[in-house]
Amino acid sequence: MFIGIDVGGTAIKYGVILRTGEIVKKGQMPTIHEKENFLQSIEALIKSLQQDAVIEGVGISAPGIIQKDGTMTTAGSIKSLYGINLKLELEGRVKLPVIVENDANAAAIAEKWLGHAQTCENYLCLVVGTGIGGGIIVNNRLYRGSHGMAGEFGWMLIDSLPEQGNLESVSLNQRAAIVGGLCHQYQLALQQLGRSDLPLDAIEIFQRGEQGEVVANQVIAQFFQDLSVGLLNLISTFDPELILIGGGISENDSFMAKLEETMSQLKARHESIGYLEGRTIAPIQRAKLKNDAGMIGAVYQLMNQ
C-alpha cells in the first residue's frame, strides 16, 4: 500500500491507496504555511497512517514548478516551501521512498491510469482552483518542459495589457481561476460599488447570480468567457484529443454546463475553429477522478519508478 498526499493552498487531502488505485482510507487537514510546521505535520500524518498499514512509499502532488528530483522551484501560495527539496526533506524524516509531482501533472497521469484518458495519446488536463494548472501528455508521455514549468496555463495573458503594474492582472490565474479569478474579480466589482458584503466562496457567487444579482451575473459571464478563451488558445496550440477539467468546481454540473455553452458560442464565432468543430476540435470533459486525481497520480508515478 501507498500513501497519497495532495497539498493545496488551504487543505491537504490524503489517502491510503492500493496498487490497483483503490483508496481504502482518506481524509484531510488544514495546510500549514510555515516550513518546519508544514514538514512536521506531513511527517506526523505519514507515521500515523503507518500504524494501520504496511506502507511502501509516499506520493505527493503539490502546486508549483517541481523538478524531477523533488525540488520545489515554486509552491503556489505556500511561499515557505520555495527552493526546498521536499522529497529529500521527507525521506529523511519518514525513511520511505517519496515522490513529489506537480498537482496538475499528477491529475493528468491519474486520468491516463484510471480515468477518461485511458485511450488517449495526446491530451491536456486543467486543474481549476485557486489558480489554473495544467498537465500536458504528448505521445503518452508527460511533457515537463526544460525547467519543469510546462503547463503553467494560468500565466497566459488573455486581454489588453494594462499600461502599468503587474501584467498578471490579465492572466488566466486572475481572470479564470476560482479563487484568484472569479472570487477576486467579484470582490473588485463590489469594492467599486462601495459594498463590503463579500462572499465566502464561488458557490455563493453562483447562488447570487441565480438569485438575479446583476454584478454577480456580469462577473460570472466574464469568468466563463475568459476561461473559454484560454481553452480555445490551448486547443489551437496543442491540438489535443481531449481536454479534461479538474478541481473541486468541476464536480458542479451547472459549472460544466455553462462552460460547454460558452465554449460552443465562442467556437461558432471563430471561423477557422468553427469550421473544424466536429472534425479536429477537442471536446471538453470533466475529469473522472475529481479531487482524488492528484494523490492517485502521484502514487502511480511512485509505483512506476
Helix ranges (H only) for 35-85 are: 35-50
pLDDT tens track of the chain, all 305 residues? 999 999 988 899 999 999 999 999 999 999 999 999 999 999 999 999 999 999 999 999 999 999 989 999 999 889 999 999 999 999 999 999 999 999 999 999 999 999 999 999 999 999 998 889 999 999 999 999 988 899 999 999 988 899 999 999 999 999 999 989 999 999 999 999 998 887 778 999 999 999 999 999 999 999 999 999 999 999 999 999 999 999 889 988 999 999 999 999 999 999 999 999 989 999 999 999 988 999 999 999 999 88
Do both 212 and 77 map to the same domain? Answer: no
For 136, the grid coordinates are: 500536458
CB distance 179 to 130 below 8 Å: yes
Residue 200 included in any domain: yes
Residue 93 included in any domain: yes
Do both 295 and 275 map to the same domain? Answer: no
What is the value of pTM for the model shown?
0.90
212: domain CATH number is 3.30.420.40
For 149, the grid coordinates are: 514549468
DSSP state, residue 88? H
Do both 172 and 250 map to the same domain? Answer: yes
Identify which of 290, 193, 185 has the alpha carbon closest to the alpha carbon of residue 247: 290
Do both 189 and 246 map to the same domain? Answer: yes
Q: Give the structural domain span for 254.
A: 120-287
Domain count, the chain: 2
Do both 33 and 178 map to the same domain? Answer: no
Residue 56 included in any domain: yes
CA dist 60 and 300 (Å) reads 10
Do both 274 and 295 map to the same domain? Answer: no
Do both 226 and 148 map to the same domain? Answer: yes
For 271, the grid coordinates are: 471561423
Residue 114 included in any domain: no
